[in-house]
């Protein structure tokens, strides 16, 4: 049996081909969005400062065809929480 190591294409994650576009759309909207920067792998990552308005995030996801919006929202919420904690030193070895 083949096992896929990447999430399905219907889930908006950093592995999705439109991830950078999605993050760019979030960054363009000021206070309702949030800031993303490109990392050393040329992938957009959240700066961990401004938490985006979930209704705004959902409205952007709804414009992307063939995306499971509910599951992508769940993933994105966990992604933001994880980045928030890492940026504040949680989960790092001492």
Is residue 91 in a domain?
Answer: no
Is residue 13 in a domain?
Answer: no
Is residue 34 in a domain?
Answer: yes
How many structural domains is the chain composed of?
1
Domain containing 54 equals: 19-86
Place of tokens 């409205």: 59
pTM to 2 decimal places: 0.70
3-state helix, strand, coil in the chain (%, to 5): 40, 5, 50
Is residue 26 in a domain?
Answer: yes
Per-residue pLDDT of the chain (94 residues; tens, 9 = 90+): 556 555 567 899 888 889 888 888 887 765 556 777 777 877 777 766 667 788 888 999 999 888 999 999 998 888 877 776 766 677 655 4
15, two tokens: 């592995």
């Amino acid at each position: 049996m083949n096992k896929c190591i990447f999430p399905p294409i219907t889930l908006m994650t950093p592995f999705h081909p439109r991830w950078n576009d999605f993050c760019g759309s979030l960054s363009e909207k000021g206070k309702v969005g949030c800031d993303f920067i490109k990392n050393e792998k040329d992938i957009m990552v959240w700066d961990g400062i401004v938490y985006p308005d979930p209704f705004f995030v959902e409205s952007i996801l709804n414009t992307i065809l063939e995306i499971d919006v509910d599951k992508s929202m769940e993933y994105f919420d966990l992604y933001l929480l994880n980045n928030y904690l890492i940026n504040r030193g949680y989960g790092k070895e001492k």
